[in-house]
Structure 1
Amino acid sequence: MHTKPEPQHAFLQQLVGEWTYDGEALMGPDSPPEKMSGTETVRSLGGLWVIGEGKGKMPDGGEATMIVTLGYDPALGKYVGTWIGSMMARLWVYEVTVEGNVINMESDGPSFADPNKTVRYRDAIEIVSSDHRIFTASFLPDDGSRITFMTIHYRRKK
């Protein structure tokens, strides 16, 4: 079986390339923002998938490696994705939607306040231009208000 790329696959291909990133994360409600920076290489797999591997410094200064996969499943009629990182033993399986130039990736995961409870997380990639994208990470606590705890700017290497 050979799947030919569709327009939804082509949309994801704009992420392919070499990137640098810098951003901030809130590690707790009373903590000041922590800085992070690094690089990411995003490659195409057959024009159907994009695979991004990021490497950099975590807010606490430790090294981190992260891998994201994104694709479009024509049989399901929707985008799909996953994320793993060297800082945790959890596979995040995303429910992905695309709204204009924003890729929303949602998954349930452990609450910051109580690791025995789960909350809904949303990672989003806003494509600002061919050389700039913004990643945000947020969650929905019990009160239903969305809290953004991470913002990262990616810039294409020249």
Structure 2
Amino acid sequence: MEAQTEREQSPEECWLRRLVGEWNVEAPAPDGEGTIKGRETARLFGSWVLLEGSSQMPDGSVHASLMTLGFDPARGRVVGSWVGSMMSHLWVYEGGLDAAGTTLTLDTSGPAMDGSGASADYQDVITFEGEDTRTLTSRQRQPDGAWRDLFCVRYSREG
């Protein structure tokens, strides 16, 4: 497959390229005590964006993650995956941009957090707040169909 030039890129591909760079990461700890801090490096891999993160938890442990995102022209959707060293589930994404072109919503499913062994629907919502700040909000669909935010990570571009 031939590489696309900048002019031929879809809005989704242009949006994904905005992720490329070095980022400082900050999020509240899961127990509400303290802050998780880390770094993320996002780079191009052909038409894919690879986002490699590492963060130190309040207990001193280090967690690593790898997200892959790309645009599938046949589906007209952004596709990808996420894995983290702290869990064994492979999260598989499919999603799209909002009309304003600032927010990418990625749908996925995985184990319910209640320990029941059931599956649940989740979304990771990435929003740019300018070129050098973005957030990722992870949320879970509730039995009534509403979405409940689980956590929000803030990214600030280095430099």
Tell me the TM-score normalized by structure 1.
0.89
- Within the alignment, does 1:15 sit opposite 2:29 as a pair? no
- Within the alignment, does 1:58 sit opposite 2:62 as a pair? no
Give secondary structure in 1 for the equivalent of 2:18: helix
Q: CA-to-partner distance for each residue in 1:62-88, whole Å, 9 max, x for gaps?
A: 211000011101122211111001011
Runs (4 or more) in structure 1 with deviation over 4 Å come to: none
Q: Check whether the contact 2:29–2:57 (CA below 8 A) recurs between aligned residues.
A: no
Match in the other structure for 1:36: 36
Residue 59 of structure 1, CA deviation? 5.1
Q: CA-to-partner distance for each residue in 1:113-152, whole Å, 9 max, x for gaps?
A: 1341111111111011111001111101223231111111
Match in the other structure for 1:152: 153
Give 5+ residue unaligned stretches, structure 1: none
How far apart in 2 are the matches of 1:10 and 1:105?
17
One-letter amino acid matched to 1:20: N
One-letter amino acid matched to 1:104: T
How far apart in 2 are the matches of 1:26 and 1:77?
35
Give secondary structure in 1 for the equivalent of 2:129: strand
Q: Check whether the contact 2:127–2:136 (CA below 8 A) recurs between aligned residues.
A: yes
One-letter amino acid matched to 2:2: H
Match in the other structure for 2:95: 96
Give 5+ residue unaligned stretches, structure 2: none
How far apart in 1 are the matches of 2:28 and 2:102?
22
How far apart in 2 are the matches of 1:149 and 1:25?
11
How far apart in 2 are the matches of 1:66 and 1:114?
22
**Which stretch of structure 1 is more off in the superposition, 98-107 or 2-11?**
2-11
One-letter amino acid matched to 2:24: T
How far apart in 2 are the matches of 1:60 and 1:113?
23
CA separation of 1:110 and 1:36: change in aligned 2, threshold 3 A: same
Q: Check whether the contact 2:50–2:69 (CA below 8 A) recurs between aligned residues.
A: yes
Number of aligned residue pairs: 153
Match in the other structure for 1:121: 122
Residue 95 of structure 1, CA deviation? 1.4
CA separation of 1:59 and 1:141: change in aligned 2, threshold 3 A: farther
